């Protein structure tokens, strides 16, 4: 097909734009007054971008059918690696106490959970695409739930809260895209919502009434409805008990999310300093590489999790708007690719990859302003990290391929 010969240049250009923007910020993150580990990391990031571009090119040459075929082996391989991580894994950086890194002979190879996200998207797309129509009952969801659930448990136990949130995001987004009714998705999510809302009996009771109404309106199988309601009741009761079982740092993170000033010196410190960095940026920022919060080491993890605070501090509201706008345009374009895809599998893959990025951006950018609780989650194309850069560009490669095989000429679209 001649379409393969015309790659989706706008998508590549948007991703490249973000990558260059990101590398500039990684460079700036290394420019501090106190000696800093991040000083030369932008070199590596350039190298990883080149590797990513190469891989993306290779992937874009591979047929979507090949991707579909590769879903199973990739998924299994990823599961094996995740299962072995407690033995070979080690912590690093902001997640020093976890075992998220694949380590061989003391050399950290990479973070398999980044690859796992791609594998889960592929596998879930394959599983769903094999169906004739969308699941209409809870029982029919067992397959997708299993596909996401197994790696989710591994990642959650590492513990890598950020990636586990991404898995949940991918799960719901792809089910939505596949046409699962939103009522059903809400019923699936309801125990989790109950868990979160259980901190206030009043709010939880209100939610419970909404749920009852939903069950009554949606009319699931009787036993499913009963199960959902009971699960919600159980969560409402179990939440306080679960709270007691959280590790102190996890509990602090949630408390600090509700009120950062409750612990300004310790747990709240990151969020407060990040907000100060962003807020002091103003319209135009303090100038590239000149952010004082970053320079003087008040900003934590300035080259990884909190890199967007550097954007806010140094380039101001304008810089933030530019970055977020590029993300928005890229995502809208990806949704368009998913819409125009040639088959269900391609469409689901495209939407799943987009959802994964979206969760990353929403959570990462949100936490710099305390809109989200802190979870160690990188910003796509920005945060320093080889695995994620590679994974993101692999995803771009797949999207370019899907776009090329899709109906109509994607690059001639408005977005």
| Smallest gap from residue 149 Cβ to another protein (A) | 22
Listed in sequence order, the residues at least 6 apart from 362 whose beta carbon sits closer than 8 Å to its beta carbon are 372
Give the residue from 41, 59, 57, 49 showing the smallest Cα distance to 19. 49
Q: Which is nearer to another protein, 225 or 281 (CB)?
A: 281
For the chain, what's the residue count?
Answer: 415
| Smallest gap from residue 406 Cβ to another protein (A) | 12
Taking only Cα atoms into account, the Rg of the chain, rounded to an integer number of angstroms, comes to 22
Sole binder of another protein in the list 156, 339, 342, 411 (CB under 8 A): 339
- By CB under 8 A, what part of segment 257-286 binds another protein? 273, 275-283
Sole binder of another protein in the list 188, 365, 379, 394 (CB under 8 A): 365
- Piece of the chain touching another protein by CB under 8 A; list 55-63, 94-102, 245-253, 339-347: 339-347
- By CB under 8 A, what part of segment 12-51 binds another protein? 33-34
Judged on CB neighbours under 10 Å (0-12, 13-18, 19+), 1 is exposed
- By CB under 8 A, what part of segment 101-120 binds another protein? none
Listed in sequence order, the residues at least 6 apart from 167 whose beta carbon sits closer than 8 Å to its beta carbon are 117, 120, 148, 151, 152, 155
* Contact call for residues 410 and 14 (beta carbons, < 8 A): no
Q: What is the DSSP letter of 369?
A: T
What values do phi and psi take at 101, rounded to 5? -100, 135
CA distance 390 to 384: 11
Q: How far apart, in Å, are the Cα atoms of 190 and each of 47, 103, 157, 324, 398?
A: 44, 38, 22, 31, 33
Q: Which is nearer to another protein, 243 or 331 (CB)?
A: 331
| Smallest gap from residue 253 Cβ to another protein (A) | 19
- By CB under 8 A, what part of segment 194-233 binds another protein? none
- Which tokens hold the place of 7? 């790659």
- Site size for another protein, by CB under 8 A? 49
Q: Which is nearer to another protein, 240 or 279 (CB)?
A: 279
| Smallest gap from residue 415 Cβ to another protein (A) | 9
Q: Which is nearer to another protein, 58 or 296 (CB)?
A: 296
Sole binder of another protein in the list 218, 292, 322, 413 (CB under 8 A): 292
**64 touches another protein (CB under 8 A):** no
Q: How far apart, in Å, are the Cα atoms of 358 and each of 52, 101, 250, 366?
A: 20, 23, 24, 11
Beta strands in 13-125 (DSSP E): 89-90, 101-104, 107-110
CA distance 237 to 243: 11
| Smallest gap from residue 133 Cβ to another protein (A) | 5
Sole binder of another protein in the list 21, 172, 257, 358 (CB under 8 A): 358
Q: Which is nearer to another protein, 134 or 214 (CB)?
A: 134
Sole binder of another protein in the list 44, 156, 208, 331 (CB under 8 A): 331
**92 touches another protein (CB under 8 A):** no
Sole binder of another protein in the list 94, 111, 158, 293 (CB under 8 A): 293
Q: How far apart, in Å, are the Cα atoms of 157 and each of 81, 91, 117, 152, 160?
A: 14, 13, 16, 8, 7
List the beta bridge partners of residue 110: 102
- At residue 66, the 3 state secondary structure works out as helix
Determine the Cα angle at 186 with ends 184 and 188, to 5°: 70
**338 touches another protein (CB under 8 A):** yes
Task: Give the full edge-to-edge strand order of the sheet including 107-110.
Answer: 89-90, 101-104, 107-110
- By CB under 8 A, what part of segment 160-189 binds another protein? 176-180
Binding mask 129-148 for another protein (x = CB under 8 A): ----xx--------------
Beta strands in 96-255 (DSSP E): 101-104, 107-110
Sole binder of another protein in the list 90, 362, 411, 413 (CB under 8 A): 362
- Piece of the chain touching another protein by CB under 8 A; list 7-15, 45-53, 192-200, 291-299: 291-299
Q: Which is nearer to another protein, 79 or 365 (CB)?
A: 365
Sole binder of another protein in the list 9, 143, 321, 409 (CB under 8 A): 321
Binding site for another protein (CB under 8 A): 33-34, 133-134, 176-180, 273, 275-283, 292-293, 295-298, 312, 316-317, 320-321, 324-325, 327-328, 331-332, 335-336, 338-339, 344, 347, 351, 358, 362, 365-366, 369, 371
């Amino acid at each position: 097909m001649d379409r393969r010969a015309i790659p989706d240049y706008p998508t590549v250009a948007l991703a490249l734009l973000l990558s260059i923007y990101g590398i500039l910020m990684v460079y700036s993150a290394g420019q501090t007054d106190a000696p800093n580990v991040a000083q030369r990391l932008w070199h590596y990031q350039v190298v990883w971008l080149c590797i990513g571009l190469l891989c993306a090119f290779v992937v874009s040459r591979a047929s979507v059918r090949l991707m579909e075929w590769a879903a199973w082996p990739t998924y299994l391989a990823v599961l094996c690696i995740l299962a072995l991580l407690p033995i070979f894994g080690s912590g690093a950086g902001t997640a020093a106490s976890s075992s998220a890194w694949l380590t061989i002979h003391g050399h950290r190879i990479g973070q398999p959970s980044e690859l796992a996200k791609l594998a889960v998207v592929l596998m879930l797309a394959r599983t769903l695409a094999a169906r004739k129509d969308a699941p209409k009952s809870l029982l029919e969801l067992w397959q997708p739930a299993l596909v996401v659930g197994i790696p989710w448990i591994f990642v959650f136990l590492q513990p890598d809260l950020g990636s586990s949130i991404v898995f949940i995001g991918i799960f719901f987004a792809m089910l939505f895209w596949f046409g699962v009714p939103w009522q059903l998705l809400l019923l699936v999510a309801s125990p989790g919502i109950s868990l979160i809302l259980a901190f206030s009996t009043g709010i939880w009771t209100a939610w419970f009434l909404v749920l009852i109404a939903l069950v009554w309106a949606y009319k699931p199988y009787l036993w499913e409805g009963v199960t959902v309601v009971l699960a919600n009741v159980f969560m409402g009761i179990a939440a306080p008990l679960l709270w007691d079982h959280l590790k102190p740092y996890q509990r602090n993170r949630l408390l600090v999310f509700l009120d950062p000033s409750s612990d300004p010196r310790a747990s709240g410190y990151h969020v407060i300093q990040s907000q100060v960095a962003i807020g002091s940026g103003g319209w135009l920022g303090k100038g590239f590489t000149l952010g004082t919060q970053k320079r003087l080491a008040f900003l934590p993890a300035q080259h990884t999790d909190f890199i967007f605070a550097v954007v806010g501090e140094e380039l101001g509201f304008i810089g933030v708007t530019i970055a977020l706008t590029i993300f928005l345009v890229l995502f809208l374009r990806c949704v368009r690719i998913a819409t125009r895809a040639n088959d269900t599998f391609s469409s689901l893959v495209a939407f799943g990859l987009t959802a994964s990025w979206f969760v990353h951006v929403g959570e990462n950018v949100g936490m710099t302003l305390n809109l989200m609780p802190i979870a160690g989650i990188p910003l796509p194309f920005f945060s320093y990290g080889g695995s994620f850069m590679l994974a993101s560009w692999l995803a771009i490669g797949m999207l370019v391929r899907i776009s090329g095989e899709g109906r109509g000429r994607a690059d001639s679209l408005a977005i």
